[in-house]
Amino acid sequence: MPTTSRCTAVLLASKENGTSVPLRIFVEVLRAGKTVGGPDEILGRQSIQLASGESVVRRRKGRYQVLSTGETLYCDDPAAP
């Protein structure tokens, strides 16, 4: 069965120079129910991307790294993974 991804949050992160960058948090939906977040829905792993689609990895809570450039991003949002 094919999986899909759903954007569950958009958080603002900061670059070293202070520029803000939105981080998009996605979760894989392994099985969709009749309603979003319903009891039949099974969620899989989480991924993080920039608005451009570039992949971002979580280094620790509030610290992320853009895979293509190695640039470190920071986010102090309490909802940040």
pLDDT in tens, 2-50: 568 889 999 999 999 999 999 999 999 887 666 666 667 787 889 999 9
Contacts 24+ apart (CB under 8 A), 61-64: 64/13, 64/23
* pLDDT tens by residue, 46-78: 999 999 999 999 999 999 999 999 999 999 999
34 DSSP 8-state letter: S
DSSP labels, 52-65: T--EEEEEETTEEE
Virtual CA dihedral for 41, 9, 15, 75, nearest 10 degrees? Answer: -90
Distance CA 28, CA 3 (A): 7
Task: List the one residue out of 51, 40, 50, 75 whose CA is nearest residue 61.
Answer: 75
pTM over 0.85: no
Is residue 48 within 8 A of residue 55, CB to CB? The reply is yes
